[in-house]
Amino acid sequence: MTGHALEAVQLAKAYTIDGRRIPVLAGIDLVVPAGAFVVIEGKSGSGKSTLLSLLSGLDRPDSGKIILAGTDITTLGEDELAPFRNRTIGYVFQSFHLVPSLTALENIMFPAELIRDSTAKAKAMDLLARVDLNSRRNNFPHQLSGGEKQRVAICRALVNSPQILFADEPTGNLDSANGDIILRLLLELRRERGATLVLATHSGEISRQADQVVRLADGSIAHGFEGATP
């Protein structure tokens, strides 16, 4: 994959709460190079999660344009957008979002089964072995630790070999030791698979490892793109 993985033009988003319109993002422009590790950094309430949701197609902007893997996703209806997301992106949530009634193996297989991939189980087993969770494949989410749940969530995000991987505070619910393991795993798997990684965090330590950093403040880009701090 060459060129741009993602481009956003003049994104704006607001929510209406108790009759009041609350602006969250305004005038966001950015370009994400293919294969890069890009961090969206900012304090709580700065708009990181909202921006990630828009860029990944999980939510829609009020105005602006998002070109994801060469497709303007703001022009797609939901019946087109949902399968496009499943083929093109992976998403790792802070709170895991595993299906409680499915085992670790079944959770990972699920996105591949949606596209009727006959190799879904083999791919899921390979990923479980890669993250050292093969022995936990038949466990349900409530039987897994936080770090194990996040490893399963990463495998689920990668099972369809997405071009772009989004991660929203993926270490936020973990202790520092497990957080370090998850970040290292994300970066290793991203390099192995040639994927673009866009990660939202408030951690300066994570930002220092990125190729580029987008800093948000009060719903706007504070300093644009910058190279990682040595």
Closest C-alpha among 185, 110, 178, 188 to residue 144 = 178
Chain-wide mean pLDDT for the chain? 91
| φ/ψ (deg, to 5) at 117 | -80, 115
Q: pLDDT band at 172, cuts 50/70/90?
A: confident
Distance between CA atoms of residues 59 and 14, nearest Å: 12
Asked if residue 205 has pLDDT above 90, the reply is no
Tell me what pLDDT residue 226 has.
Answer: 46
CA dihedral 10, 85, 172, 62 (to 10 degrees): 30
Distance between CA atoms of residues 166 and 1, nearest Å: 17
CB 139 within 8 A of CB 103: yes
Min mean pLDDT across 92-101, 103-112, 159-168, 199-208 is at 199-208
Closest C-alpha among 174, 118, 116, 167 to residue 145 = 174
pLDDT tens column, 78-115: 999 999 999 999 999 989 999 999 999 999 999 999 99
Give the length of the chain: 230
Tell me what pLDDT residue 230 has.
Answer: 35
Closest C-alpha among 221, 89, 85 to residue 166 = 89
Name residues whose C-beta falls within 8 Å of residue 125's C-beta, 6 or more positions apart in sequence.
105, 134, 137
Distance between CA atoms of residues 29 and 21, nearest Å: 22
